[in-house]
């Protein structure tokens, strides 16, 4: 179904307004006004109209993973997360062999060109610290490689890229400086202390992957990578708001301390949306029980989170008002991924990516470029 006119309460420019008329044409928002004078053909809704959610760190869902390099599987991931309100993603890879990584990137590029929701690629590894690998395959971790990254970038030169790396590794500075301006470098899976993390920002890194997780934490005498993120006013960060990776009180604190710099992410794996059981995360077996996915040693292995659940958790668990949470899933990630000129807001000329939320913040309907997804 194609929407043409939608009328109701909407989140517009930081506030929830009544009587907003959203007019869609050719997949974009043709007009947006606050008015009680509604065309006869307009669809009236009692749901809250918000911009589509944007996920900058997503591995999979509904039984598929971007590392599978499978076109049908990639379509499955996008369809599943669209049903939960995610209208744009940075398809995310893991540390893997050069061959597997290139195959995954090539498949992601094909999916993007086919007109899906992929608007960026996030390379989470392989240039990370094995001591902070988390659920990543340690045998696939390797030093930063300018030639390898250049080859990968050539598979999808039209897309924005995020590359997660550990800045303390030999060659990290050279990689950051070589691709500065072409790649957004994100500090993550790192043993870097405060000094090194701060230096990495000076070299050109500007983002932090799943803040607090797989990095040196905040201590009053050792601020760690977390401290570097908090005091660097231009740095942006990811938060996994599943209530497991980060305590709700810290979710609240981080969002309050870093206004306009926090992006919610799912870090969802193939088990997202699937029943309890054992699933593959590249070479690892991951056991899913309830809301947690863990390795045999008990370590968390990605999440089972959707972006709609992340938004709800920030309100219900972290205690933040919905008006301050919506930008964390829309405007901030759009800016991080370099698509803020067309996504992340309900605004004239922007893509008609629209989500309708019920009173419990559940997703009722989703439109991607004006077309309803079900």
Domain boundaries, the chain: 5-49+349-373, 53-337
Is the Cα dihedral 344, 349, 354, 356 positive or negative? positive
Provide CB contacts within 8 A for 10, sequence distance 6+.
16, 17, 20, 22, 48, 49, 50, 346
Q: Let me know if the fold of 5-49+349-373 is the same as that of 53-337.
A: no
In order along its 374 residues, the chain shows pLDDT tens digits of 677 999 999 999 999 999 999 999 999 999 999 999 899 889 999 999 999 999 999 999 999 999 999 999 999 999 999 999 999 999 999 999 999 999 999 999 999 998 779 999 999 999 999 999 999 999 999 999 999 999 999 999 999 999 999 999 999 999 999 999 999 999 999 999 999 999 999 999 999 999 999 999 999 999 999 999 999 999 999 999 999 999 999 999 999 999 999 999 999 999 999 999 999 999 999 999 999 999 999 999 999 999 999 999 999 999 999 999 999 999 999 999 999 999 999 999 999 999 999 999 999 999 999 999 97
Alpha helices in the chain (DSSP H): 71-83, 98-113, 146-155, 172-179, 194-203, 224-231, 248-257, 307-316, 322-329, 331-337
* CB-CB contact of 166 with 191 (8 Å): yes
* CATH architecture of structural domain 5-49+349-373: Roll (2.30)
**CATH class for the domain made up of 53-337:** alpha beta
Question: Which residues are part of the catalytic machinery?
Answer: 267
Q: Are 21 and 41 in contact (CB under 8 A)?
A: no
**pTM for this structure?**
0.97
The token pair at 93 is: 């890879």
State the Cα–Cα distance between residues 302 and 284, nearest whole angstrom.
12
Terminal Cα-to-Cα distance of the chain (whole angstroms) = 10
Half-sphere exposure of 321 (CA within 13 A, CB side): 6
Of 180, 53, 60, 176, nearest to 108 by C-alpha is: 60
Distance CA(326)–CA(44), nearest Å, equals: 22
User: How many CB atoms within 10 Å of residue 278?
Assistant: 9
């Amino acid at each position: 179904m194609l929407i043409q006119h939608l009328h109701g309460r909407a989140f517009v420019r930081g506030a929830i307004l009544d009587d907003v008329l959203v007019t869609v044409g050719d997949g974009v928002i043709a007009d947006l006004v606050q008015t009680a004078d509604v065309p006869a053909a307009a669809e009236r809704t009692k749901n809250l109209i918000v911009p589509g959610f944007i996920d900058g760190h997503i591995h999979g869902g509904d039984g598929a993973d971007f590392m599978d390099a499978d076109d049908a599987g990639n379509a499955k991931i996008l369809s599943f997360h669209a049903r939960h309100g995610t209208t744009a993603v940075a398809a995310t890879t893991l540390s893997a062999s050069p061959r597997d990584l290139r195959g995954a990137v090539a498949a992601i590029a094909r999916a993007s060109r086919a007109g899906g929701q992929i608007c960026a690629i996030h390379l989470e590894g392989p240039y990370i610290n094995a001591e902070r690998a988390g659920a990543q395959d340690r045998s696939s971790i390797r030093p930063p490689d300018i030639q390898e990254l250049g080859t990968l970038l050539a598979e999808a030169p039209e897309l924005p890229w995020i590359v997660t790396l550990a800045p303390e590794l030999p060659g990290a500075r050279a990689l950051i400086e070589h691709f500065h301006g072409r790649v957004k470098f994100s500090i993550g899976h790192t043993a870097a202390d405060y000094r090194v993390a701060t230096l990495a920002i000076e070299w050109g890194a500007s983002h932090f992957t799943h803040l607090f997780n797989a990095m040196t934490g905040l201590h009053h005498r050792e601020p760690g990578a977390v401290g570097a993120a908090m005091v660097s006013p231009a740095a942006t960060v990811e938060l996994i708001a599943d209530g497991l990776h980060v305590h709700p009180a810290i979710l609240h604190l981080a969002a309050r301390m870093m206004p306009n710099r926090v992006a919610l992410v799912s870090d969802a794996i193939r088990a997202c949306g699937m029943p309890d059981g054992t699933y593959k995360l590249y070479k690892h077996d991951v056991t899913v029980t309830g809301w947690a996915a863990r390795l045999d040693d008990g370590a968390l292995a990605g999440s089972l989170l959707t972006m709609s659940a992340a938004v709800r958790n920030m309100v219900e668990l972290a205690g933040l008002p919905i008006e301050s949470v919506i930008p964390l899933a829309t405007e901030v990630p759009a800016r991080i991924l370099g698509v803020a000129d067309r996504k992340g807001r309900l605004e004239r000329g922007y893509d008609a990516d629209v989500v309708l939320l019920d009173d419990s913040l559940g997703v009722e309907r989703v439109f991607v470029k004006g077309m309803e997804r079900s």
